[in-house]
Structure 1
Amino acid sequence: MDIKLKNKNLKLSIFILSLVFITLALCSMFNLRVNKEYLNFKSFFEGRQFEMELNQFYSNFKAYNVDYKDYGKKSIDDKINTDEFNNLKNQYDNQLENKLQDTENQYNSQIENAESNGNKDKVTRLTEEKNKKLEEIKKQNTKSADDIKKELAKRSDDNYNSVKKQYESIADIIYYLKDNKSGDIYSNLNNVDDIQKYIKSSSVYSFSLPNNSPTSSTRYVSNQLSGLGLEGYIIVPKTSPLVSNSKEFYVNKVLAIIQLIIFPIFLVSGVLMLRYSRKEEIDKHSLIITSNKLYGKIPFDLKLIILFFALIISPEIYRNLYYYGMNIITSDFFINLILTTLFTFYLYISIPDIINCLKNRENLLVEIKSGLLYKLKEIFIRSLKDKNLLFITIVFMIGSVLFGVITAAISLTYNGPELFIIAMILYALFVIILLFRNIAKLDKIIKGTDEIVKGNLSYVIKEKGKGNFSRLAHNINNMKTGISMAVESQMKSDRLKSELITNVSHDLKTPLTSIINYVDLLKKEDLSKDEMNSYIKVLDRKAQRLKVLIEDLFEASKMASGAVELNIEKVDVAQLLNQSLAELDEKIKASGLAFRVNIPHHKVYANLDGKKTWRVFENLIGNILKYSQTGTRVYIDLSETDDKIIITMRNISAYEMEFDVDEIFERFKRGDTSRATEGSGLGLAIAKSIVDLQGGRLNIDTDGDLFKVTIELKK
């Protein structure tokens, strides 16, 4: 067991060492470009940095001694360029013209309004005011030729003084130059009689003009100075700051050579050790497995973003390792080496994982859907439905960004990072307090839902404020009320089902029992023909009654399920109602009821199923004939509005109406609780279903013994 553990740890050590070697190899590789100058040039004085120093020297020298030569002797006119004078004059003239034009437009509009209103005094006042304003503008903004010349001369003097200051500050490079034509000497070297002796004793580098063998760094300056007719020496003294640059160059050159040598050594060694680790199944080590699990928890899109930025900044990261310790090995170097190696390990895990994922399209879609951006998109889409939550989120995000930017700006302005830290701590405290307040609200809601789950429907969750948590508490309280109503509704439904079964059993059993009894009577042999005919009539009546009950039951079931085909057509409702009354005219006359009918004589059209609507009228009028008090009046009215037809039927019930109005539409529910009449209890249920299917409404109202049915049909 100990041997296996040692082998595992040895394999892990080799794997870690391979990552370290690869990290150092990458460090050397990314620094090869930086170190290219150190490898290409023998010394600092042949490199680009020294070339830039020489170019800057030449620029300052030429500007003062050539471009501004004898500047102090020049008059104002000599310092001024004609083109510059004309351009500045045109600029001032245009500015004056624009200001005059703006003022003219401003006053002209006011003057035109005054003229249109016939206000002559105002016109005169505005005209005088405009002329005065124009004169003031001309006086303040008119520039004479002398003014322009003085301004240009001042600009030229400022430029000259700046050039002179830069020229006189040259100290890194000593120059001793002579003009071949005039014999003038240009030098920043004082009290030196023998220049050759000075070069030998006090310089670290120099070159003469003309320069017969210039290096890449001195070629441009040599040619330019020689082109000006100058000869002499350019010298870097031992006291120049460039000497320290030269020493640093030498050290970096040595390090660059070392890196060039160790790069292939580290790279080959690291790759070989990594291959050995992979061969020995290092990925099965617990530490690697744990690392892969942690990496697997990162959303796919976040992996891509991290890898993208990691690849972008990787050259800088590996180059930084050089600056942290390749000159002097310190604790900072080892810390940075560990961090950079961990970065290499992340690349080792992520790059193959991303490549494999991109190759497998099905897995890629799964990864994308489980990604952070996809989830944020879903949250955002859901939040669009809740505008209050969306508004709060946007305000909070914008406020946080603005707070951070303003705090950072103030801290940078006053050079006080402490201010930024304090502000961030206060902001964090604010967010924490806000978070805990919302957690407390959520805890109260959870406690309330636990009570409701236990059956305590009387528990009320406290609603404070106007936030989403308060709204959630309010909704849960309303849901609790809804649950109570649902429980009551379920109990009512169970009761109605029980009554339905009882009523169906009773209404079917009654005629069926009669049929059975009369069949038994017919089986007797001693019956006379009259008795047999009487029994057969009773059997026929009871069978018809049973048939009607069964047909109504099927009709009601079809209506309730919506499995009914409607033949919608243009129907004259007034005519249809009159036909229904005519069909039942004999029963109406025999009922002892006084019908008062108010139906318009003109046609009243609606898009309906004529047969089904006739069934509605038949059922309702049939109910009136069955259940109305004898000797009372029945009122039937038909009226219309712009978009609907209204039919009302009112009668006085012969029975005491103890039923619930909402329950009267239930199947087999009858106002006659004794069930002494021959009604099926399905008439109103069928009628309501037909009206509902056609987009209408059927309502019932009672007031004492008054029974009222109202039908509303769309035109």
Structure 2
Amino acid sequence: MKNKVLLLTWSALITVVLLASLSFARQGTGLIGNVFSDFNDFSWQLDEFYDIVGPTKLNSIDVEEAKKNITVSDDEIERHRYRYGTLADQLSNIHDQYAQRIADAKDAGNELLMNTLIEERDMKLADIRKNFESDAHVEAKIRKEKEKALVQYLNDVKANSFSLPVAYEFTDVETGETYSSGDVSVPAVYKKQFNAAKGYFKANSLPGHNGTNGWIRTSDYGNQAASEDIQITTSVKTFEGTVIVPKSAVAKGGVLYSQYKDFNKGRLATYVFWLLGIIALITLLTVMKFQKEWVTGTAIADWYADLKIDLKAAAFFMTALILVGYIDSKSSNLSNFFTYQSLGRWGEWLTSFLIGGVVMTTLFAFQLVNGVERWKREGVLAKDIKNSFTLQFFKALREMFLKRSIGVQSFILLIGFFLAGIGFIGGFIDGIFLMIYAFCVLFLGLPALYIFVRRSAYLNRIIVATEQMASGRLNEDIKIEGRSPLADHAKNLNNLREGVRISMTEQAKSERLKTELITNVSHDLRTPLTSIITYTDLLKDENITSEERAKYVDILDKKSQRLKTLIEDLFEVSKMASGNLELNKQRVDLTQLLQQALAEHANQISESGLDFRTTIPEEMLIAHVDGQRWWRVLDNLIVNAVKYSLPGTRVYVTLRKVGDSAEFVVKNITKFELSENVDELFERFKRADTSRHTDGSGLGLAIAQSIVDMHQGNMKIELDGDLFKVTVTVPTK
């Protein structure tokens, strides 16, 4: 938890340093030493003033003079004339528009309305005919529309007002005429002079045209049916003078007071943030130096290490992209944020700071450090690349062409479907694409589809035949068609069918072994149980002596322990077979564990008359195993050697390290003759003593085998006449 807090704190400091440094690089020179008049909002309002003071006050256009300069071209006349179609089309449309209305008025007996509609219709018809008879008539109508739009536009220009409380005094350099508003001699928060030395003020007659001829569209001013352009001749006049914004405007209660206050607040807050960036940088270089332990050795680091390198690269790229985007976005308008503060903006800023800044910086550091630490280990980077999705994809792509015909056909189909989608969309764009698309569909797509359907049908027949084989119906071969890879697959499945038939013999053998297993279990459980019942009945006799009673009780105890051992072993084997047994792996010294196991059975070994020869390493041999379970393996193998070795012979026990594994070997001469089939010795309740007179359960090797398998080890039995050898290996890493 402490490491997490330290990492998040470090990430927050890094984010502050990045935001402050980039903000200073972008805005430092522009913000330090600036005054209110350099403020963005103020500058925009000044630009607005300079743009419209010319058209509205200093150099306005005369409306009547502008009307005289309106022109109408022959193209405009033609477009207006045929705006709604040919003469016949327009006359027909008007007749259709009024026919039903006139008929309704006549049916209603409203003669006045009927005559009015007829008169209105005839006027429109006459106007349409005149449009096609006289260019002058059409020109007059267009001119009237343009004059209306022009008047509206110029009135809109003159109606513009200044949002700033500006005082100005301008003198026309050519005429000497003076234009003024307000007092330019009062104290000012902004003041600019125009003269020969500092540059004259150029007043345009239209906003934003800088002396070039302007154009307006009649459609923007009520004439939606036409969109003819009106050219307006503009002019530029030269002025000298003074423009000010009085200080009273930024005083408390002034028009610009809130903007002035916001500007000073934003500038001060930005300075404070830059100072915080310096403090954060000093902190990072002194008391908060990054420690890689903050991001390594955690549970999430182990989970992250198992991810494919492709996913890591994509996550790293996305994290860096989001972090860079956040820093770039927030640093560019930091002063603007501090200028216009609100609770909602603070919430949004803090949220983005935590997610886009702190979290992304944390993830970036986590991925970078864990990646570097992992790939510093020799061979790990190459292994990660080898196991990546990208290489697996290319490997799969290569394996797609193991059967070249299938790979080529699949690739062609994929490309074909892709191009078909493009062609289908292209058909809506241009008719020529539709023709090409139709040709490709008829002569390429449909034949490919035919082949694909036939192959798919054959594949389905093979799948159905395979399902029949799986259900046990092995009488019919799969029909082989042609020389395709599917035909080869069908041939292989037929061979597999023969293999399944052969395996039926093995299955019969398995049933036999199962029967033997049940018989052996019944025998081994019934024998001690019968003894327990018999001696219990004997104990009920009141006439037996105390010596006999003690003897019977001792026999009962032995038989009970024997029955208990059988049942416990049976339950343990069942647990292992069902996978319900859990291992508690720890660092275990196998050398010490073997020494303890031999010491545990020292008396049995001594009484057996066997000569145990042990070879054990002097140093520790460490492996990650479940000590209790591994003790059971050693115990079972040693007990097995004691019980089933020929008396007077030698037993060799060896423990050594072989590569990255520990190897445990037991060799002895068997007391009983063994079958050459080694696998039978791993079967449950299988014993070397076929008469089953010894005390073994027949589960020892089966239990040992299961435990070794659970440790990803290996257990092997070798027979050479009466020489019996068991070799157990387990990884030490």
User: What TM-score does the superposition give when structure 2 sets the normalisation length?
Assistant: 0.41
User: What TM-score does the superposition give when structure 1 sets the normalisation length?
Assistant: 0.42
More helix by share: 1
Q: Which has the larger radius of gyration?
A: 1
